[in-house]
């Protein structure tokens, strides 16, 4: 028989309680919880001199070897101490200290005071000693926390494809030295429903790599605006040269509204560009406007200087935009311009004034020459309100190769028209963020410098700029991979790259669809082995590979059922690679509109 457990004497229990209470009050190694350090402004935590100037660098030493970013090169790029630049949709205040003073934080668990509400946290960073990465936490106003992972390439040897700014020279103890250096803006997702209170930086990892944080900020939410038109930046290309010229660019809005704002980007640039004035008008014909163009303002001013790598949005403007009706955006460039960031293969005419001076207010199209087949600087048009936008990420088939200039025959145009003609789902904006010859696995453009290869950087390297930072973008449709297969990539490599895109989009709360790859039999670089790899990728997608929210079967919509490795002859533009306008309309019809609904 089990004996009852003897009861502890009352005085013993009281003594034990006293001991426990004393331990709680005094603290012990096993039970004490260290207090959380107070959050401080980033500038108060600066512990490294990363920007140098003059003959000997003024004591700056970013990497422990007497080398630093050049203050003169930063100034030439428009990144002066204390300046405000917007990159990846986030306004960032550059370090204000003079060159040679502490101007960045070597991340090691510091708590930084950050306030604001938005969809992403942006870090202006670079790394020394190799690629640096780590995990940190975000503390919100309601006391809850989320974790994040941030990674930055090495300032000297890392890729320039994702850099915010590439500098042409360093500051050293021996004087200025010609060599590349890069700064990066890296974003991580935030909760949308509550403001940020503080950010804990990652702990310094073992090894030589160090993450240097120069600025950080919250990217404001774009709720209340819908992206109506956009153009991804492919490269910085030689233009003109132009001296005090006005450009007149045609855009085709996918949705309408009563207020408008426009976005200009100086991506991949090495120097600032000055916009003297800009205007918007409804297009009548050619370069002529239906009425006198309405001037845009930038922070209340008529013009704006865009720092290298930076972007700007115009002030909201009361202006009626009608979906499907062309607009004219006029931009005066008062200085001498020899290169600009561009999106090529516009499939819209672009005009340059033949005479010098500001012609942004001119209604007439006389004096403008049809000289451009690309969009320089202009990257977006938003309208107030609306249900948000769908972003198409693709290559030349999506840019509308082999369609008529000015006819708006891209499959994205047909999709936007379908959305406007029905009432089952909202009339989402459709943004075409495709680049001719773009790939999943290779940067065709190196990420800096003038280059005539305007195929852009690979999709993973442009996701933040071309998808996540787009106004109220809630759904992406990815139609890429055929160029990779045609140039030797394996089906497994393409599958892995598509899977990476899907994972990153889902982490940002973006619904992501994939399109099967269309046939290219009979075209250059499309041997039977390429077609076999294409079919393998398509079978993987149809079987649920990659974890996409839905699959759009472009292949089935346009292939020849008798010869499935080829386009149907009625849908062939003539080169056996690019579908014609009729086929592009069929591809738009293949999209399940209900699949475009946001998460």
Reported as a single tens digit per residue, the pLDDT across 449-474 is: 999 898 999 999 999 999 999 999 99
pLDDT of residue 599: 86
Residue of 238, 246, 240, 340 lying closest to 287 (CA atoms): 246
CATH match for 387-599 among 3.10.200.10, 3.90.226.10, 3.40.50.1110, 3.60.15.10: 3.40.50.1110
Alpha helices in 328-391 (DSSP H): none
pLDDT of residue 210: 97
31: left (phi over 0), alpha (psi -120 to 50) or beta: alpha
| pLDDT in 10s for each residue of the chain, 599 residues | 444 443 434 333 333 333 323 333 233 333 333 456 899 999 999 999 999 999 999 999 999 999 999 999 999 999 999 999 999 999 999 999 999 999 999 999 999 999 999 999 999 999 999 999 999 999 999 999 999 999 999 999 999 999 999 999 999 999 999 999 999 999 999 998 999 999 999 999 888 999 999 999 999 999 999 999 999 999 999 999 999 999 999 999 999 999 999 999 999 999 999 999 999 999 999 999 999 999 999 999 999 999 999 999 999 999 999 999 999 999 999 999 999 999 999 999 999 999 999 999 999 999 999 889 999 999 999 999 999 999 999 999 999 999 999 999 999 999 999 999 999 999 999 999 999 999 999 999 999 999 989 899 999 999 999 999 999 999 999 999 999 999 999 999 999 999 999 999 999 999 999 999 999 999 999 999 999 999 999 999 999 999 999 999 999 999 999 999 999 999 999 999 999 999 999 999 999 999 999 98
As a whole number of angstroms, the distance between CA 182 and CA 157 comes to 9
| Residue 565: φ, ψ to 5° | -85, 0
Using alpha carbons only, give the angle 111, 116, 121 rounded to the nearest 5 degrees: 65
pLDDT of residue 205: 85
- H or E element, residue 551: strand 550-552
Q: Are 69 and 183 in contact (CB under 8 A)?
A: yes
576: left (phi over 0), alpha (psi -120 to 50) or beta: left
As a whole number of angstroms, the distance between CA 429 and CA 259 comes to 15
Cis peptide before 241 (omega within 30 of 0): yes
> Helix 491-507 vs helix 528-542: angle between axes, to the nearest 10 degrees?
30
Q: Are 415 and 591 in contact (CB under 8 A)?
A: yes
Domain ranges of the chain: 42-220, 238-380, 387-599
Residue of 151, 140, 135 lying closest to 201 (CA atoms): 135
Residue of 148, 200, 215, 190 lying closest to 36 (CA atoms): 200
Beta carbons within 10 angstroms of residue 493's beta carbon: 17
> Helix 411-420 vs helix 581-589: angle between axes, to the nearest 10 degrees?
50
> Tell me, what DSSP letter sits at residue 465?
I
- b/e 307-323 (16+ beta carbons within 10 angstroms → b): bbbbbbbbeebebebeb
Three-class secondary structure of residue 422 per DSSP: coil
Alpha helices in 471-596 (DSSP H): 482-486, 491-507, 528-542, 554-558, 581-589
As a whole number of angstroms, the distance between CA 435 and CA 585 comes to 19
Q: Would you state the structure tokens that stand for residue 190, as one six-digit string?
A: 């935030």
Distances (CA, A) of 56 to 72, 126, 173: 13, 22, 4
As a whole number of angstroms, the distance between CA 154 and CA 88 comes to 20
Q: Are 490 and 533 in contact (CB under 8 A)?
A: yes
pLDDT of residue 29: 33
């Amino acid at each position: 028989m089990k004996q009852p457990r003897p009861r502890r004497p009352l005085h013993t229990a009281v003594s034990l309680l006293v001991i426990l209470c004393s331990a709680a009050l005094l603290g012990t190694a096993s039970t004490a919880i260290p207090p959380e350090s107070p959050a401080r402004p980033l500038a108060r935590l600066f512990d490294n001199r990363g920007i140098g100037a003059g003959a000997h660098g003024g004591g700056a030493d970013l990497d422990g070897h007497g080398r630093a970013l050049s203050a003169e090169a930063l100034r030439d790029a428009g990144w002066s101490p204390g300046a405000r630049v917007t990159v990846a949709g986030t306004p960032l205040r550059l370090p204000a200290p003079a060159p040679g003073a502490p101007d960045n934080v070597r991340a090691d668990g510091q708590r930084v005071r950050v306030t604001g509400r938005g969809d992403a946290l942006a870090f202006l960073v670079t790394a020394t000693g190799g690629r640096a990465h780590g995990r940190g936490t975000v503390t919100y106003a309601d006391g809850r926390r989320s974790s994040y992972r941030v990674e930055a390439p090495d300032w000297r040897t890392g890729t320039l494809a994702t850099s915010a700014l590439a500098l042409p020279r360093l500051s050293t103890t021996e004087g200025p030295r010609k060599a590349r250096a890069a700064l990066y803006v890296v974003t991580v997702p935030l909760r949308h429903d509550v403001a940020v209170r503080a950010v804990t930086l990652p702990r310094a990892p073992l090894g030589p790599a160090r993450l240097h944080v120069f600025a950080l900020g919250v990217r404001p939410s774009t709720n209340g605006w819908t992206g109506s038109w956009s153009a991804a930046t492919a490269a910085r290309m030689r233009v003109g040269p132009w001296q005090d010229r006005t450009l007149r660019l045609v855009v085709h809005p996918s949705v309408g509204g009563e207020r408008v704002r426009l976005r200009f980007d100086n991506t991949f640039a090495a120097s600032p560009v000055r916009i003297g004035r800009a205007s918007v008008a409804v297009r009548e014909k050619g370069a002529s406007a239906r009425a006198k163009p309405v001037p845009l303002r930038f922070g209340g001013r008529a013009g704006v200087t865009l720092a290298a790598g930076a972007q700007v949005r115009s002030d909201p403007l009361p202006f009626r935009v009608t979906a499907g009706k062309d607009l004219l955006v006029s931009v005066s460039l008062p200085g001498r311009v020899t290169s600009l960031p561009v999106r090529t293969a516009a499939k819209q005419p672009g005009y340059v004034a033949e005479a010098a001076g500001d012609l942004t207010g001119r209604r007439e199209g006389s004096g403008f020459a049809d000289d451009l087949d690309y969009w320089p600087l202009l990257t977006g048009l938003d309208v107030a309100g609306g249900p948000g936008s769908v972003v198409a990420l693709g290559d030349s088939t999506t840019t509308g190769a082999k369609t008529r200039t000015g006819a708006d025959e891209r499959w994205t145009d047909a999709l936007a028209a379908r959305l406007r003609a029905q009432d089952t789902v909202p009339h989402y904006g459709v943004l075409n963020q495709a680049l001719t010859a773009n790939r999943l696995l290779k940067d065709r453009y190196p990420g800096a410098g003038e280059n005539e290869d305007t195929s852009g950087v690979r999709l993973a390297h442009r996701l933040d700029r071309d998808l996540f930072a787009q106004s109220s973008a809630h759904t992406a449709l990815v139609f890429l991979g055929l160029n990779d297969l045609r140039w030797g990539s394996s089906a497994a490599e393409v599958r892995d790259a598509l899977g990476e895109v899907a994972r990153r989009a889902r982490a940002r709360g973006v619904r992501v669809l994939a399109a099967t790859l269309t046939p290219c039999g009979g075209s250059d670089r499309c041997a039977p082995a390429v077609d076999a790899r294409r079919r393998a990728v398509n079978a993987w997608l149809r079987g649920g590979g990659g974890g996409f929210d839905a699959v759009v079967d472009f292949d089935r919509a346009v292939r020849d059922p008798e010869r499935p490795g080829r386009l149907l002859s009625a849908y062939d533009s003539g080169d056996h690679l690019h579908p014609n306008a009729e086929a592009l309309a069929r591809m738009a019809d293949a999209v399940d509109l209900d699949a475009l609904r946001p998460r």
